[in-house]
Structure 1
């Protein structure tokens, strides 16, 4: 909410010269704090403005919150580390968990790229999908389960689609090979 102090001539002069509100804006904020009985104001740490937007905010199944930054650990520079530390401190003050996750495993990325090729609904054949879910009700090797249902050439695209949609599960951080153990998502 703007007040008459936001249009103070000093503020407009500083804003016109630097593009930033400057000290006049801070004086106006201080007046507002005094009127509303604010007890404390957290300013920029070490007097330096710091801006950082974490990559993800997740609500976990237990109801807690997780703030996550994703950066390959070998690419974190000192300035990044300072931003991560400030985010970790802010999250701790708010009762949130904060983590910096490294780069995903190459095998996981390769498997996800492969399965992404089967994400389109055209790969969902309802009868074959139902037969695959029944075949993998007991954990079974990928190719063995596909062969139980029919010709692997016709069945594997549906199986990969179900893996992409997480209707079937396997360890994606291991190579997706014919003996990879696949099971239903409920198991």
Structure 2
């Protein structure tokens, strides 16, 4: 662990392959990430939620699923653990484990995360345990993710919207700000600019109640 470089981990492939079996209770799949311009795997709906949040975060530069296997001796026994994600951010690497909140109190889960935290932080990296996010924020970011594919939006329309003063304009009215353009097209472009953080709004309330702000 002390010798592995972040550059090497950028090119890592997932440690595990998908498993499907009768009665499986978790939901696996792949998500096309705008950050990666490629698909990234997940093994549960909660992991997918964390992945969408990472894709929406402008500080995240690279995402690696199941980036490595940690193996060490703790209390005289060999312990193994594969973190869910490695996020390479502007502030440095973040190793992420995703776990439902109701399982965090289990002794074996707490034990694994504690020794994992010590190993990760020994590199000066950050370790994060991620559980269910606020429901409104999750639903809003999940909705905006539908507008993440930049090649679907005309550059001229996006530039027109960037030049407008939309500070304080209710999101429900913003699609009418360019009378010469079809409202559905303008509305979708505004959602893309919210995804890219060119425009901002309060994501902790329903989008229909939001007011637009320009990014700083």
Q: Classify 1:127/1:143 alpha carbon distance in 2 versus 1 (closer, same or farther; 3 Å).
A: farther
- For the 8 Å contact 1:67–1:97, the answer to whether it is kept is yes
Select the residue among 74, 85, 99 that pairs with 1:56: 85
Provide the residue aligned with 1:34 in structure 2: none
Write out per-residue CA displacement over residues 55-88 of structure 1, whole angstroms, 9 at most, x where no aligned residue.
23334434x4432222222122322211101111
Determine whether 1:94 maps to 2:131. no
Q: Classify 1:53/1:157 alpha carbon distance in 2 versus 1 (closer, same or farther; 3 Å).
A: same
Write out per-residue CA displacement over residues 8-67 of structure 1, whole angstroms, 9 at most, x where no aligned residue.
xxxxxxxxxxxxxxxxxxxxxxxxxxxxxxxxxx951112221112223334434x4432
Gaps of 5+ in 1: 1-41
> 1:137 Cα deviation (Å)?
5.5
- For the 8 Å contact 1:135–1:145, the answer to whether it is kept is no
Determine whether 1:169 maps to 2:200. yes
- For the 8 Å contact 2:175–2:184, the answer to whether it is kept is no
Choose between structure 1 and 2: higher strand proportion. Answer: 2
Q: Which has the larger radius of gyration?
A: 1
Q: Classify 1:118/1:57 alpha carbon distance in 2 versus 1 (closer, same or farther; 3 Å).
A: closer
Provide the residue aligned with 2:147 in structure 1: 118
Provide the residue aligned with 1:183 in structure 2: 213
Gaps of 5+ in 2: 1-70
Q: Distance in 1 between matches of 2:138 and 2:197?
A: 16
Q: Under a length normalisation based on structure 2, what TM-score does the superposition of the two structures give?
A: 0.55
Determine whether 1:82 maps to 2:82. no
Choose between structure 1 and 2: higher helix proportion. Answer: 1
Provide the residue aligned with 1:158 in structure 2: 189
The SS at the match of 1:50 is strand
Q: Distance in 1 between matches of 2:185 and 2:164?
A: 15
Q: Under a length normalisation based on structure 1, what TM-score does the superposition of the two structures give?
A: 0.63
Q: Classify 1:122/1:95 alpha carbon distance in 2 versus 1 (closer, same or farther; 3 Å).
A: closer
Q: Distance in 1 between matches of 2:136 and 2:175?
A: 22
Q: What is the aligned residue count?
A: 143
| Backbone CA RMSD of aligned residues | 2.7
- For the 8 Å contact 1:128–1:149, the answer to whether it is kept is no
